Amino acid sequence: MQTIEEYLLLFSFYAVLGWLCESLKSFLHTKKFINRGFFIGPYCPIYGFGALIITIFFKNSQNVFLTFWGSLVLCGLIEYFTSFIMEKMFKTRWWDYHYKKFNINGRICLEYLIYFGLAGLLIINVINPFIFNYLNLISAFWLHIISVLLIINYLIDCKWSYEIALHLKKIQKKPQDITEIDADLKRLILKKAKIHKRVLNAFPLIKEQMGEEISEYLEKGETEEYE
């Protein structure tokens, strides 16, 4: 049980670290802060899962090439199938690497796969030993408390984020002309305007698929009431 809880904290650490890296990359590109990721909280679980899988498979590996190529392949598979599943669930593409060289269906590309491989080496040889030294200092009692709080937080965030994605899916099914959208859906858009805007900023590709007029309407968050 303690090992599972330690892995949960490890997952959380890398999920937050991944979010920080994504947000920093966006900031350097756009010169403004963007809350990246599917979830509301400051974490990107796909990075947490990737780091956790690398840790489980290669924690005792002394082979640099095995760690690099294994991390590359495993993280590539996670990203590919995450993209595939999310597209099937919500009927939209959340990211697309078709503009990158050596991509597979726009879901993964060689450039980021190499980054995954290098990250695997860093995780196994540098970051994990440092983290586990500190995890060993946490008592079993506090490890239980922190784990329970993290699980509750993730469950709540998962529920809210899933509902938001369903709202966006519902909006995308409607005509691209805002005047053709019914009043009930307009109220839904207005009620969730702020959180919708966060998702659209985090995933610009969704904004493109919605059409310019509806995207602008979502971003403005109009306050007008509809009968």
Closest CA to 54 of 5, 122, 114: 122
Distance of alpha carbon 12 from alpha carbon 8, whole angstroms: 6
* Per-position DSSP letters for 67-120, written without gaps between them: HHHHHHHHHHHHHHHHHHHHHHHHSS-S---TTSSSEETTTEEHHHHHHHHHHH
Distance of alpha carbon 184 from alpha carbon 192, whole angstroms: 13
Distance of alpha carbon 119 from alpha carbon 72, whole angstroms: 9
Question: 35-70, pLDDT tens digit by residue?
Answer: 788 888 899 999 999 999 999 999 989 999 999 999
Question: 96-143, pLDDT tens digit by residue?
Answer: 899 898 999 999 999 999 999 999 999 999 999 999 998 888 999 999
